[in-house]
Amino acid sequence: GAGVSQTPSNKVTEKGKYVELRCDPISGHTALYWYRQSLGQGPEFLIYFQGTGAADDSGLPNDRFFAVRPEGSVSTLKIQRTERGDSAVYLCASSVDGTRREQFFGPGTRLTVL
């Protein structure tokens, strides 16, 4: 079956612009996670959805970052007023449920803010 997909694979934007990053999880997976990976670092947790609701958004760095999952499947990460420091690879992962089972990662979206 299909794995986790993310679009776009690359996004270049200018400082101050708004961007949306999309994640399609594995069908049937109720848990969805967003992480951010800066160059040379491990992924950092941003937000976790169980179904449609954000069960843990403690990793969002500030109120410019927001994510939704309105129908419990596809999720969109939204970044307002982008800053150069937002440049990173944004990873999405899904798992069967919100326990400590394996998370399956997508290929990521590389965001570059000029």
Instruction: Please give the residue ranges that form the binding site for other proteins (CB under 8 A).
Output: 31, 33, 35, 40-45, 48, 50, 55-56, 59, 91, 93, 95, 98-108
Residue number, 19 or 31, with CB nearest to other proteins:
31
Residue number, 6 or 82, with CB nearest to other proteins:
6
Q: Where are the beta strands (DSSP E) in 1-114?
A: 5-7, 10-13, 19-24, 31-37, 44-50, 53-56, 65-68, 75-79, 88-95, 104-105, 109-113
CB of 1 to other proteins, least distance (A): 16
Residue number, 77 or 82, with CB nearest to other proteins:
77
Residue number, 106 or 113, with CB nearest to other proteins:
106
CB of 55 to other proteins, least distance (A): 6
CB of 99 to other proteins, least distance (A): 6
CB of 3 to other proteins, least distance (A): 8
Number of Cα atoms under 13 Å in the Cβ half of residue 36: 17
Q: Which helix (H) or strand (E) holds 15?
A: none
Query: Residue 101's beta-bridge partner residues?
Result: none
With beta carbons less than 8 A apart as the criterion, state whether 70 and 52 touch.
yes
